[in-house]
Amino acid sequence: MSVEHPSDRLVSSYAHGDTDLPADALWAVEAHLEQCAPCRRRLAGAAAEVPAVTALLTAVRSDLEPALDRSTPAPRRRRRPTAWATPVMGPWLAMVIGVSVVAVLLDRTAGWTSGAPPVLLLAPVLPLAGVAAAWSRGLDPAFELTAVTPRAGLSLLLRRTATVLAVILPVHLVAGLLTGVALAQWLLPSLALTATALALGGVIGVGRATVALGALWTVAVLAPAAALGRLFLLRPEHLPLWALALAAAVGVVLARRRSYTTPTSL
């Protein structure tokens, strides 16, 4: 199918703003120019011969050039580590570290803790507070803005959880060394509870999941230890169960990774 190009006379009339052009011819020229680069170049050449167009371009250029000469490059935008942390996480992590220090002091001074070391009782569950602060509607003032951005989802949640663990786990490692608590005895439960919070977070929300797990830990572990001075679920023979729970929670998180892209699930 051949394309009929407008004549030079028609292009020149269009460039000069001829008001006598019929409406159908004017429409045909504009429609053709949108799709034809050679004719647009013809129009540019014809417009260069129009005094009014030349004067307008010269005026615009004379007004813009001084401003362009005075302009300075825009400052580079600073990258904020919002993908790894939020402002609200700071106080919560400081609180968790403070509780860990208190647990060490109790272990050193309170005689009743010999059968149930406070560090062992608290180290597995304390990261849940940081995880709640990392991605929770009620604790993060910028939650709504972050949740609707393209970077929101499981990867963002994992980055912030990694930040929490990177801060808390070394503190608990030092606390375990000071109190003689074996590393695996608190590390496996800590990772299992954190992964379980993320797995439940895709269903009921991270904040509610951490509260539920914290309450369950209080009833099943802390209360019996305080009342009887005995450990439940934290003995060496229970470590395979914690490893299995960790593997199952990680599997659930990966299987439901798409559920973390909606704000209502978090």
pLDDT in tens, 97-151: 888 888 888 877 765 555 688 889 999 999 998 888 877 666 666 666 666 665 6
Question: Which CA distances in Å does 242 have to 65, 108, 130, 237, 258?
Answer: 70, 27, 20, 10, 26
* Coarse DSSP helix, strand, coil percentages of the chain, rounded to the nearest 5 percent: 75, 0, 25
Close Cβ partners of 156 (under 8 Å, ≥ 6 residues apart): 83, 135, 146
Q: Which of 213, 187, 191, 188 is nearest to 200 (CA)?
A: 213
Q: Which of 11, 26, 16 is nearest to 54 (CA)?
A: 16
List the helix and strand counts (H, then E) for the chain.
Answer: 13, 0
**Amino acid (1-letter code) at residue 183:** L
What pLDDT, on a 0 to 100 scale, did the predictor assign at position 1? 39
Quote the CA–CA distance of 232 and 225 in Å, as a whole number.
7
Tokens standing for residue 63? 């007004």
Quote the CA–CA distance of 124 and 101 in Å, as a whole number.
15
What pLDDT, on a 0 to 100 scale, did the predictor assign at position 125? 94
pLDDT digits (tens, 9 = 90+) for 38-95: 888 888 888 777 777 777 777 777 777 776 666 566 556 555 545 676 766 777 788 8
CB 231 within 8 A of CB 225: yes
**CA of residue 202 relative to chain centroid, distance:** 15
